[in-house]
Structure 1
Amino acid sequence: METKKSDWMDWIKTIIITAIIVVLFRMFVAVPIVVDGPSMMPTLENKDRLIVNKISLLFSEPDRFDVVVFHATAKKDYIKRVIGLPGDSITYKDDQLYINGGEAVEEPFLDDELTNDPSRYTSNFNMKDIQGNSEVVPEGYVFVLGDNRLNSTDSRHLGYISIDQIVGIASVTYWPIKNIGFVN
């Protein structure tokens, strides 16, 4: 009888420890999310399932062109690509990205879209057109765009995104199976 009670206690301890590990992992390391909508196509498709890396934000801020998940509202998270970092001035002209008034910056993740569609993919704008009316991305914020520039609610509409709103960096797509791989 004592052995059965001991076995049950071992199982209960194992379940409790496993639950604690899962909760801590989701809070501090990584979290699964589902892409909702077409704003990141062709990079990510609607209903793709991803792992979002939360731990890297403990050591550094996101880099340019990282795909990040952030709290857009109290109930809704968005997934977009970081285009501008604090202190950057962003301009788009004739589907070309310019940072800090310098030379054109390539966006290889858009190459197929720009080749297949001769019409304007990203409407022309500069920092003065963005909510907040600043000449540069403010300290503690980033400027984000969806890869599907024609159908994306991003910094052109929301303004700058506080780094504190960022949940994590999209790392791996795990579903559907045909899309398994690292997020570029």
Structure 2
Amino acid sequence: MSSVPNQDQKPKNSPSSPSHNEENAWVEGIKTIGLSIILALGIRTFVAEARYIPSGSMLPTLEINDRLIIDKLSYRFTEPQRGDVVVFNPTEELSLQYNDAFIKRIIGLPGETLEVRDGQVFVNGEPIEEDYIAEEPQYKWGPETIPEGEFLVLGDNRNNSFDSHYWGFVPRENIIGRAVVRFWPLDRLGGVDRSF
């Protein structure tokens, strides 16, 4: 006659003890958090990142404290274009005084000759239409030819922008990415137009 096993006695192949399950939950939680951090850093490094606007140099297009998404991926496949609003690291000369990235609009492309005079920007002798600027530039600059692999960038608030007309051109390798979407404030939610 076989005996009925004691119901209070744990079978040999029973699931792990509660303390072991708690340990597994902690390990899984740490793995999940670690993977999330790695993915977030990977996305921020190679795909997109959020930035805010600290100054009025891009008025009226971008206002102080606007929050933007910067596309870092597309410039791996295409070259920056005139009209793109770009975030870039300071040039070597500027990096002695500034650590933070700048945001400006690309106006001049490699090989082009630019001049600012009579309240107008001229590219290769032809005036360009700029309906996005705060006011006409009240300074004269150039004519100057942009070296290969470099870009001329200006703020949309032309007369109140520390940009290429002060310190020169931006090397291609300094460009981090292009501003594509404003996500804050909500009443200004939308794309950042190239305007060209």
Normalising by structure 1, we get a TM-score of: 0.85
Partner letter of residue 68 of structure 2? L
CA RMSD of aligned residues (A): 1.5
Give the CA deviation at 1:13.
1.5
Give the CA deviation at 1:126.
4.1
User: What do the CA deviations read for 1:107-137 (whole angstroms, capped 9, x no partner)?
Assistant: 1323xx45xxxxxx21343434xxxxxx310
Structure 2 unaligned blocks of 5 or more:
1-17
Preserved contact between residue 92 and residue 123 of structure 1 (Cα < 8 Å): no
Q: Quick check: 1:101 aligned with 2:119?
A: no
Which fold has the larger relative contact order, with Cα–Cα distance below 8 Å and residues 6 or more apart in sequence?
1
Give the CA deviation at 1:57.
1.6
Match among 122, 135, 153 for residue 144 of structure 1: 153
Q: Quick check: 1:49 aligned with 2:67?
A: yes
Partner of residue 18, structure 1: 36
User: What do the CA deviations read for 1:10-43 (whole angstroms, capped 9, x no partner)?
Assistant: 2221111111100100110111111111100000
Which segment drifts farther, 168-177 or 81-90?
A: 168-177
Structure 1 unaligned blocks of 5 or more:
115-120, 129-134
Preserved contact between residue 71 and residue 178 of structure 2 (Cα < 8 Å): yes
Pairs aligned (count): 169
Q: Quick check: 1:177 aligned with 2:176?
A: no
Flag the structure with higher helix content: 1
* Separation in structure 2 between the aligned mates of residue 158 and residue 46 of structure 1, nearest angstrom: 23
